[in-house]
Chains A and B, each alone.
Chain A
Amino acid sequence: MTQTAPCDTPPAEAAPSPGARPPRSGTAAQGSTPARPSARTGPADSVAHLVEVYDGAGWAAVCRLDVLVPGRGVAALLPCGTQAAVFRDRAGHVHVIGNRDPFTGAYVLSRGLIGSAGGMPFVSSPLLKHRFDLRTGRCLDDPETSVPVFRSRTR
């Protein structure tokens, strides 16, 4: 039961500078420094395997599915300016939650290790190792705390 996290509140006081936000279309941003090899910002013909995230206002393409290393996450900048953590598990499911670790305030959850316990997928924060349920966003070590969950689809 995936719940939608609308992007109605700005994620952080440190909003990215204007123009830094990626466009809402499926094509990847052409940043100002395109020097880096960009396997992840694939050509248009790979649209069929594109991971998209719903940020409350619409679907935003994030990356090609094959860019996601199973068991690992990446951070994505949603059009509304919020940061999402996008994971792919071994079974091939994609999970998207907010990238901010509520315990430290740092935007690092995408860099945590994911795992599963009794069929429940989770990510462990790389900072203080709190675990978050990837389906509900609930913190397993502190039920009072949770992170937003985003809907995703692969096309």
Chain B
Amino acid sequence: MTLPTTPVPPAPGAVTPTIVLVGHGMAGQRFLEALAERGTTRRARVVVLCEEPRPAYDRVRLTSYFSGTTPDGLALADEQFLSRHGIELHLGDPAAAVDLERRTVTSRSGRTLAYDALVMATGSFPFVPPVPGRDSAGCFVYRTIEDVLAIEEYAGNSCRTGAVVGGGLLGLEAAGALRGLGLDTRVVEFSDRLMALQVDAGGGRVLRRTVEQTGLRVHTGVAAERIVADERGAVKSMALSDGSRVETDLVVFSAGVRPRDRLARECGLSVGERGGITVDARCRTSDPHVFAIGECARAADGNVYGLVAPGYEMAECAADAVAERFAGNGPSARDGAPRTFGGADTSTKLKLLGVGVASFGDAHGTAEGSMDVVYSDSRAGVYKKLVVAPDGTLLGGVLVGDAEEYGTLRSLTGSVPPVPPESLILPAGADGPGKGLGPAALPDGTIVCNCHHVDKGAVRAAVSDLGCTDVAAVKKCTKAGTGCGSCLKVLGQVVDAELEVNGVPVDSGLCGCFAHTRAELYEIVRTLRLTTFGALLDTHGREEARQGDGCEVCKPAVASVIASLAPAIGAEGHVLDGEQAALQDTNDHFLANLQRNGSYSVVPRVPGGEITPEKLITVGEVARDYGLYTKITGGQRIDMFGARVDQLPGIWARLVEAGFESGHAYGKALRTVKSCVGSTWCRYGVLDSVRMAVELELRYRGLRAPHKLKSAVSGCARECAEAMSKDFGVIATASGWNLYVGGNGGATPRHADLLAQDLSDGDLVRLTDRFLMFYIRTADRLERTSAWLERIEGGLDHVRDVVVHDSLGLCDELEALMAGHVANYQDEWAATLADPEKLARFVSFVNAPGVPDPSVQFVTEREQVKPDLTLLSGPDIPVRTTDAALEGTAAR
């Protein structure tokens, strides 16, 4: 199969050179992107031979297939990338032979290509130990999407148990996948601990306990000796080296990988003793026209790297070398010296089965005279070890269970930290994590961005000498932070610190009380598990604001942060619980919307706008009995106006009894999920939009956010529900749901952007979970999704990377946060009615609870009441045109 291509314009007066790439994996794709960046794809014909039946995908995230990511969702390049750059891709047609002499490569299907440059990116293959019976049906490896699909299909064949041979990183991933398929799963590891390469014995113990708590069974210090098959040749059990035998219906081998260098060996390229195509620092092999990158290459330092970051770096080096060769007379491909690859930092941070694991530098303390500083709390599943040289230099470390400080610690590796090492790993509360570890403490030579090898001095110079005033400019200027992105936090701190040194005001603080942004406060509350505003203000407020009362800006903002994190940090769940009651704007405080005369309006939830006649009658009766003005809202609900504070409990007692819940019209929270009538009734509808709208509204009801959230679901492309103007909108198509985000009506309308399409019900909900939680986590106060999407670095693409492709490894956590919200949801009004203490606040006067507020009076207009403003005896009510003025108005 060949993807459509566009012809390459030949270079004037020259024969177009041909570059052949063998292998379209992650390193291969990065090489193509790097070539395109350098303009080489315009000057040369680029042909790719790929063994797998699909274009490059994110192998690192293979396991996310089992949590709902589709194979397409793992794709690394957008559909147009190849055609845009005129790259020919031949899928399912691997290179079979190379003739170095004649400079040709022949594919399995017999295609012969003459090349000017050949790049090998054949990757590696899983090592399957020579265990008898390993060819039985039900034995798999875990490397490609095809492997994953095969495992899934076989497991669906009435398998109940599974075993993974190998307890390394990939083995645990595979075990998590089997568990996700519902198999009772065990892991068999030959060495004495899990992830032996990355963690030490202590970390291994903590990791094992945590992994076992997730329901996996772990055997260490034993080998698989024999796979036993039944009469049909299918796996039945496995004999272990300790003499035991475990029943299993399926076996996955994940005992390491080996470089795929057969093609190179056969054509006569030099390979290392223990495998891997030998290359120099510019990724050139023993043949001047052949390059090798990624896991098939043995780098200049003699190592074969099985990690993606070194693969990417090699791809860039090879692209430099190849581009240089075909630069012609045009502008040089790239400024500066060509990139070289001498070796890589194998530091890793990942989330395995929900456990944060990181190792960096000399994790095992192999350096002469090195010493350990260890913090271990097996009860909490946390293990942290730092390896320190006699002179105090931080050499490396291992983090299990809490890898938050990875970025800072890795930056400090190789230097003497400015604070005692133990304070770097003590938990929050003791001395605070990383206390005294401001970016100013880092020496200039500290590498901030490992992907692009940018040190702190270069970042400082970009700010001070080149005039960069924000992270975006520094990224452009130095490339720092444009790789994996894991250094962005530290980078931001360094940039701000330098700006501060230069006297550039960078007060992005939330208000006069906090120098932090809302997103930063969110992280502080989340990681330190602060459950009160007071604790946050007194520890993280501006010096002059500590012990004070906060203000009307930060109190509701922090209340919202605490509310949206409540299940995760163990805060009280109700917005009127404890101290939280003092933080809420009046609307939240009385769970109703304040109107201009001091009365309130009431909006019960009507999920999806679907309401029974009985409920309609109840609303009518309540409004009639309390003399309320009623109006249909734009969000398919009914708003009842003119209730006094002391009437709210009585009104809600009747509404709750009739089955209504709070509609959160008063909160910075999900409002309504509007819907059209959908395929049930509509002759055009393709999917049941009402059902989906109700489902989404019930899922996200009560979710506190930086601003209100609106949504809609349309049952077909006619878009009657106006989903494109919502924070998240859903439109049905014949092949599934399309999810749009960042839409807005109001004063600055914005059409929503397509985030993902053709989604199943499950995928739609999962993506929406992630999107909303990522927004809640990173948005500013009162920043709607539309403004957030415009502001956030990288825009929609970045958000898509994070929530669809899990580029930050956050998705599990985002989903868990949402699961916590869903599980802990309670109707705020029902809970209030059941709590005499909360209820007691609903009086007009504290000292005269039975007396109604005499200033709240009404007159009649068009057969309904309206506020009698003449009673308020003040000057004309001024109209302030700020956003703040809008907050007190009715829910729109």
Seen from chain A, the residues whose Cβ lies within 8 Å of a Cβ on chain B are 12-17, 20-22, 28-29, 31-34, 36-41, 60-63, 67, 69-72, 74-77, 83, 86, 89-91, 100, 102-108, 111-119, 121, 124, 126-129, 131
Contact = CB atoms under 8 A, between A and B. Distances in A.
B820 interface: no
Nearest to A67: B846
Interface in B856-892: 857, 869-875, 877-878, 880, 882, 884-885, 887-888
A37 B846 contact: no
Nearest to B649: A36
Interface of B: 512-513, 534, 544-545, 547-552, 555-556, 579, 581-583, 585-587, 589-590, 594, 596-598, 649, 836-837, 839-851, 853-855, 857, 869-875, 877-878, 880, 882, 884-885, 887-888
A29 B851 contact: yes
B121 to A, nearest CB: 60
B871 A12 contact: yes
A108 B594 contact: yes
B39 to A, nearest CB: 55
Given A36-B849, A116-B550, 10 more contacts: A12-B855, A17-B854, A29-B848, A71-B582, A77-B851, A106-B872, A113-B585, A115-B513, A121-B549, A124-B552
A131 B511 CA distance: 15
Given A12-B873, A71-B583, A104 B851 contact: no
Contact of A103 (B513, B849, B857, B878): B878
20 contacts: A14-B855, A16-B851, A20-B854, A21-B848, A36-B649, A36-B840, A67-B846, A69-B582, A71-B555, A72-B582, A76-B847, A77-B845, A83-B853, A90-B549, A103-B878, A104-B877, A111-B586, A112-B586, A113-B585, A117-B551
Nearest to B550: A115
A89 to B, nearest CB: 5
Nearest to B584: A113
A16 B854 contact: yes
Of B582, B590, B843, B848, most buried by chain A (CB within 10 Å of CB) is B848
A7 to B, nearest CB: 15
A38 B837 contact: no
Contacts of A108: 586, 594, 598
Nearest to A10: B873
B848 A116 contact: no
B572 to A, nearest CB: 14
Contacts of B880: 128-129
Contacts of A115: 513, 548-552, 555
Contacts of B839: 36-37
A128 B884 contact: yes
A13 B847 contact: no
A40 B840 contact: yes
Contact of A34 (B594, B850, B882): B850
Contact of A106 (B550, B851, B855): B855
Contacts of B871: 12-14
A128 B586 contact: no
Given A106-B855, A107-B598, A116-B549, A31 B848 contact: yes
A74 B582 CA distance: 11
Given A77-B847, A126-B888, A12 B547 contact: no
B884 A129 contact: yes
Contact of A39 (B551, B836, B848, B882): B836
Best-buried of B545, B556, B583, B849 by chain A (most CB within 10 Å): B849
A103 B877 contact: yes
A87 to B, nearest CB: 9
Contacts of A107: 598, 853, 855
A20 to B, nearest CB: 5
Q: Most B CB atoms within 10 A — which of A29, A108, A118? A: A108
B582 A76 contact: no
A70 to B, nearest CB: 6
Contacts of B869: 105
A40 B836 CA distance: 11
